[in-house]
Structure 1
Amino acid sequence: MVWVGIVGCGGIGRVHAKSLKGLSNVNLCAFADIQKERAEEYSKEYTGGEAGVYGSLEEMLEYGDLDAIHICTPHSCHVDLAVAGLKKGISVFMEKPPAITREQFCLLSEAEKESKGRLGICFQNRYNETSKEVGRILREGILGKVKGGRAFVTWNRGETYYTESGWRGSLNTEGGGVLINQSVHTLDLLLYWLGKPMKTEATISNHHLKNVVEVEDTVEAYMEFTEGEDPVRATFYATTAFGYDAPILIELVCEKGVVRLEGGSVWYRTWEEEEPIYFQEAKGLAPGKEYWGRGHEACIKDFYHCIETGEAYGNDLPSVENTFNTVMDIYESARNKER
């Protein structure tokens, strides 16, 4: 049995709590939040009031006997809290992003190397049924090598989403806007299938919340993954200035055809076939919003399976380094106006 605590009892913490409650090898036994009453509410809701309640991670680590913690706090706190847990030798499962600066990422990497605890990053969309189906199509070579891709995230985030949070919309606490927060999962999938960009060129803008937030609401990026006359390349576009939270779209063009992931469905066809072949994900009860994807439960379950068996975890820190570095590259390209 793995004894687990959650740090940060806000919206995303509920998704983690619901996922953990469904695991037979996990005892969800502690909650911490700087607003202690929120931790008390979590304890009542998820453990009938039996779990320990704390006002900080330091207090939780001092008085709680834990094997693992989940970091579900504002972005700027992620690394400090994760490092504190890793230094205690306990395992850490972090919400995205793993860091908001390159320096933070290095600190996290060093802490992981020196700790006997395991570190997992919540890039849960890798576990979506649709993502697995695209992976199967590519792995089996049905469409040949990937030649390029495009991805779109068109969601809606209004003024109150930022002003009521106390931390969103600030570069110091959020680290950025639509790129590092809402659309990073989609970028992660695009890179998961295309690899490491050799060249990145991007722009960022704030169109609909000027004078309200410091961060971008729109990002556009162009990436090249190989050199030569016909490089493998991709385009990426994300905005929170759309009218509603539309399903994400990722399309990969390959040697023999094309595959598209859109929301809960996937279709592909070869250049010789007129009719595409469709895949529709099952309508399950896993926690999470449909336009996010519902991979949290599977992602978290796999983390604890790997802790139990000693197997390598697919969402460890090295596995997300390419995505993190590309996010930093996009921001630097946009701010410095250079490739």
Structure 2
Amino acid sequence: MCTCITYENGDFYFGRNLDLEYSFGERVVITPRKYPLTFKRMESMGRHYGMIGMAAVMEEYPMYAEAVNEKGLCMAGLNFPGNAFYPVAGKKKYQVTPYEVIPWLLGQCSCVSEAVGYLKETDLVGVPFAPEVPLAPLHFMIADRKEAWVAEPVEEGLKLYENPFGVLTNNPPFPFHLMNLRQYLNLTARAPENRFGEGLDMEPFGQGMGAIGLPGDASPASRFVRAAFLRWNSRAPREERANVSQLFHILDSVSMVRGMVLTEEGREDVTTYSCCVNACTGVYYFKTYDNHRIQAVDMRREDLDGRELISYELPLGEDIRTL
């Protein structure tokens, strides 16, 4: 399970929790402009936009969970089991595998409108990286500071939805979340007004009562509502550190604490990492479940005209400062 959000307060930010019961070999990876990107059924890219994000690198291929390119276009894949469908052979102009679609789009598109134009002519095909590496069932959020969209590969084809909330979680499909949010029109960050009965002398007896009914469980539908409510009611100074801190606080509100969610095999589903990238500057911030210190990698401080992947191992042990 995962949660992805956008956030704008001066600069534009894109962040996510990756919730999983195991590590997939993730590391922060920068793909410079001249690193060759190859695709199973598409022409390779010898030159493209530089990008940074969290990825597993297999046979020197960056398999991104999420990334942002140097133009400020962001994209993330989130778990979508039971609904994701990848045909072995597609009928549209572009045939791209799920693990290729992030570098393929971020490599050539500077904004969401360009990416959506490509996606309208794309099939996500069921071609695995290798026989022993099965495809993950995913749907995707793609965003820039102007708009966000959701792409869902289902049996009827690749469905595209404009996302006015700037939030994505997991199942059910996105139209459900759009309808489900309408059940929470009464929520407010302010003190509630008495609507119970006209003339009754009733006042709130504590702070926060305007949001009674905001779901607190870990289900995808509840995390969607909670993240959307906090995102839209967020207030922070228009300053980099305050914005980064605020986005991580929102992500913390929908994170998985070890033991609260168990898989069918009895394994703990936890937030293995949280990330926040300033899409305007290319600075990628992250923290892991066992290391709460916020780390940062600045894509623009590296040689973006290079020909080799640049990667950073994640610091996994807790880093506690003693005063």
Same fold (TM over 0.5): no
TM-score (structure 2 length as normaliser): 0.28
**Structure with the higher fraction of residues in helix conformation:** 1
Query: RCO greater where, 1 or 2, for CA within 8 Å and sep 6 or more?
Result: 2
